[in-house]
Structures are given as structure tokens and as C-alpha cells.
């Protein structure tokens, strides 16, 4: 199966960026899910604050990566 997405740039630039980044953002969500899953299943010596901070860092790493 093939699919072609067409955008009228610059008018639809936001839609184009969302579509082109979707795969990478899905990977980031999977990473965040694994962090949460591991904390629930195995626990750790991390505080709640440290876990939330780790999740926020994953999100910001992805956002900063895509600003370039």
C-alpha cells in the first residue's frame, strides 16, 4: 500500500511538521511508557519527583531535537 500526503506550504506547514514528526514522537511516547511501566512493575530507589523529571526530560529532548 502506498500513501502520498500533499501539503500547500507555507499555509499548511504546521500540519506538514506534525505528519513528518509523528514517527519520532511515537518513539518518545513508547520510551515514556516504558519508564512508567518499569517503575510500576519493578520499582526503584527513585523518588516520584525523579521519575517525573525523567519523563519531562524525554519530552523536552524530543521537542528540542525537532526545533532544528
pTM for the full predicted model: 0.66
Write the pLDDT tens digit of every residue in 20-34: 988 888 888 898 898
According to the model, what pLDDT value does residue 67 have? 65
pLDDT tens digit string along 32-41?
Answer: 898 888 888 8
Q: How far apart are CA 22 and CA 30, in angstroms?
A: 12
CA distances from 19 to 8, 24, 29, 34 (A): 13, 10, 15, 24
Amino acid at each position: 500500500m502506498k500513501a502520498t500526503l500533499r501539503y500547500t506550504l507555507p499555509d499548511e506547514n504546521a500540519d506538514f511538521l506534525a505528519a513528518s514528526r509523528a514517527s519520532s514522537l511515537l518513539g518518545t511516547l513508547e520510551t515514556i511508557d516504558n519508564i512508567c511501566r518499569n517503575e510500576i512493575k519493578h520499582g526503584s530507589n527513585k523518588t516520584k519527583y525523579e521519575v517525573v523529571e525523567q519523563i519531562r526530560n524525554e519530552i523536552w529532548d524530543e521537542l528540542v531535537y525537532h526545533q532544528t
